[in-house]
Structure 1
Amino acid sequence: MRLIDPSHPFFRPAWRRAILVCAPFAWAGVEWSFDNRIWAYLFAAIGGFLAWHLFVTWRPEGRD
């Protein structure tokens, strides 16, 4: 089972994918500013995971 399915219709608009990638990075910045390094690394890793799946390896439907 995959954690995220990039082929789902919800992820077609680029603005949704961008928000889903930026939100964890923004929260990582908040955690970093409060000196919570572990949580900052965790949310940065989540943002990186989402960026990888929703931008780097994402392919529009029908372009396999």
Structure 2
Amino acid sequence: MKDVDHPFFRPLWRRVALVAVCLAWAGLEFYGGSQTWSLIALGFAVYGAWQFLWMYTPPKDEAPAPKTTEE
């Protein structure tokens, strides 16, 4: 999760899905009795929420080239 400006992460649903998968993984590990892995997955979810939901700033679109009129 080092390159948060990658074009893959532009849509909001992908960033939310990433955090949701980490939370589901944490819940599955906790349900299975592995608290250590649950805390690790929860840490991934918290870090992902911080990077992809709270601190995320969408990249600015490049300005289109000026139109030229040819007569």
TM-score range, shorter chain: 0.7 to 0.9
Q: CA offset at residue 4 of structure 1?
A: 2.0
1:38 is the counterpart of 2:36: yes
Once the two structures are superposed, residues 20-63 of structure 1 have per-residue CA deviations (whole angstroms, 9 ceiling, x without a partner) of 11101101001101110000000000111111100110001129
- Aligned sequence identity (%): 34
How many positions carry a matched residue from both structures? Answer: 61
Identify the residue that residue 16 of structure 2 maps to in structure 1: 18
Identify the residue that residue 58 of structure 1 maps to in structure 2: 56
Identify the residue that residue 47 of structure 2 maps to in structure 1: 49
Rg comparison, structure with higher value: 2
More helix by share: 1
Q: How does the TM-score come out when normalised to structure 2?
A: 0.79
Runs of 4+ in 1 over 3 A off after TM superposition: none
Q: CA RMSD in A?
A: 1.4
In structure 2, the gaps of 5 or more residues are 62-71
